[in-house]
Amino acid sequence: MLVCCHQRVFLVLWLISSLCACGRAVEPGTAEAARSTPTHPLALAQRATPVRVPPPPMGWSSWNSLGEGVNHDVIKAEADGLASLNTRITSGARYEYVNIDEGWWRSGQRDESGNFIVDTTQWSGGMQAIARYIHGKGLKAGIYIDAGPRGCGKRADGTHFVGSDFAYYDHDFLQFAQWGFDFVKVDFCGGAAENYDPQTTYRSIAQAIRRAYSQTGQLMTFSVCDGGTVPTNKSFPDYDEGPWVWGAGVGTMWRTTRDIAPDFGSVTYNLAGNYHPEGQHTGYYNDPDMMVAAMGMSAVHDQAHVSLWAIAGAPMILGNDLAKPLAADTASLLTNPEVLAIDQDALGLQGLLVAQSGRLQVWAKLLAGTAQRAVVLFNNSARDAPMTVTWEALGLVPSSQATVRDVWAQKDLGRFTASYTAPNVPAGGVTMLAVSGTDSVPAIWEPGLLAGGAAYSRCPACPGGEKVTRLGRAYFRGSASTARGGFVEIGYVNDRAQTAYAQLAMNGKRPTTLAFPPTGGDGRVGAVTVYVSFQAGSNMLALSNADPSIPAPDIGYVVTVGGPVPVASAISTAH
Task: State yes or no: residue 101 binds ligand GLA (CB under 6 A).
Answer: yes
Task: State yes or no: residue 153 binds ligand GLA (CB under 6 A).
Answer: yes
Task: State yes or no: residue 63 binds ligand GLA (CB under 6 A).
Answer: yes
Task: State yes or no: residue 160 binds ligand GLA (CB under 6 A).
Answer: no
Q: Is 176 or 378 the residue whose CB approaches ligand GLA more closely?
A: 176
- Grouping H, G, I as helix, E, B as strand and the rest as coil, residue 532 is strand
Q: Quick check: 367 and 295 in contact, CB under 8 A?
A: no
Query: Least separation, in Å, of the C-beta of 57 and ligand GLA?
Result: 14
Task: State yes or no: residue 237 binds ligand GLA (CB under 6 A).
Answer: no
Residues 26 to 55: which contact ligand GLA by CB under 6 A? none
Task: State yes or no: residue 259 binds ligand GLA (CB under 6 A).
Answer: yes
**Residue 385: how many CB atoms within 10 A of its CB?**
18
Query: Least separation, in Å, of the C-beta of 380 and ligand GLA?
Result: 24
In sequence order, which residues have a C-beta less than 8 Å from that of residue 471 and are 6 or more positions away? 452, 454, 502, 543, 544, 545, 552, 553, 554, 555
Instruction: Tell me which DSSP letter residue 489 carries.
Output: E
d(CA 254, CA 488): 23
Query: Least separation, in Å, of the C-beta of 166 and ligand GLA?
Result: 20
d(CA 178, CA 321): 28
Exposed / middle / buried, residue 441 (Cβ in 10 Å: 0-12, 13-18, 19+): middle
Task: State yes or no: residue 238 binds ligand GLA (CB under 6 A).
Answer: no
- Chosen residue from 145, 212, 225, 490 binding ligand GLA by CB under 6 A: 225
Query: Least separation, in Å, of the C-beta of 304 and ligand GLA?
Result: 22
Query: Least separation, in Å, of the C-beta of 8 and ligand GLA?
Result: 55
Helix (H) or strand (E) holding 434: strand 429-436
Query: Least separation, in Å, of the C-beta of 502 and ligand GLA?
Result: 32
Q: Is 81 or 227 the residue whose CB approaches ligand GLA more closely?
A: 227
- Chosen residue from 102, 302, 446, 554 binding ligand GLA by CB under 6 A: 102
Binding mask 175-194 for ligand GLA (x = CB under 6 A): ------------x-------
In sequence order, which residues have a C-beta less than 8 Å from that of residue 246 and are 6 or more positions away? 199
Q: Is 182 or 187 the residue whose CB approaches ligand GLA more closely?
A: 187
238 given a catalytic annotation: no
Q: Is 143 or 449 the residue whose CB approaches ligand GLA more closely?
A: 143
Instruction: Give the active site residue among 101, 187, 287, 345.
Output: 187
- Give the relative orientation of helices 126-136 and 72-86 as an angle to the nearest 10 degrees: 20
Binding mask 496-535 for ligand GLA (x = CB under 6 A): ----------------------------------------
Instruction: Give the active site residue among 119, 238, 259, 263.
Output: 259
Query: Least separation, in Å, of the C-beta of 93 and ligand GLA?
Result: 23
- Grouping H, G, I as helix, E, B as strand and the rest as coil, residue 316 is strand
Query: Least separation, in Å, of the C-beta of 67 and ligand GLA?
Result: 8
Among the residues of 312-384, which ranges form H helices?
Answer: 328-335, 337-343
> 430: which strand partners?
378
- Chosen residue from 82, 147, 152, 530 binding ligand GLA by CB under 6 A: 152
Q: Quick check: 320 and 330 in contact, CB under 8 A?
A: yes
Q: Quick check: 378 and 272 in contact, CB under 8 A?
A: no
Q: Is 172 or 187 the residue whose CB approaches ligand GLA more closely?
A: 187
CA 467 to mean position of chain CA atoms: 27
Q: What ranges make up the beta strands (E) of 132-247?
A: 140-146, 150-154, 160-162, 183-187, 221-225
Q: What ranges make up the beta strands (E) of 367-407?
A: 372-379, 385-390, 401-406
Task: State yes or no: residue 314 binds ligand GLA (CB under 6 A).
Answer: no
Q: Is 66 or 349 the residue whose CB approaches ligand GLA more closely?
A: 66
Q: Is 144 or 475 the residue whose CB approaches ligand GLA more closely?
A: 144
d(CA 323, CA 261): 20
d(CA 268, CA 156): 32
Query: Least separation, in Å, of the C-beta of 84 and ligand GLA?
Result: 25
Instruction: Tell me which DSSP letter residue 76 carries.
Output: H
d(CA 500, CA 519): 10
Alpha-carbon distances, residue 411 vs 190, 301, 338, 453 (angstroms)? 49, 21, 11, 54
259 given a catalytic annotation: yes
Task: State yes or no: residue 287 binds ligand GLA (CB under 6 A).
Answer: no
Q: Is 13 or 261 the residue whose CB approaches ligand GLA more closely?
A: 261
Q: Is 188 or 275 the residue whose CB approaches ligand GLA more closely?
A: 188
- Total residues at the site for ligand GLA (CB under 6 A)? 8
Exposed / middle / buried, residue 367 (Cβ in 10 Å: 0-12, 13-18, 19+): buried
Amino acid at 201: T
Give the binding site for ligand GLA (CB under 6 A). 63, 101-102, 152-153, 187, 225, 259
Catalytic (active-site) positions? 187, 259
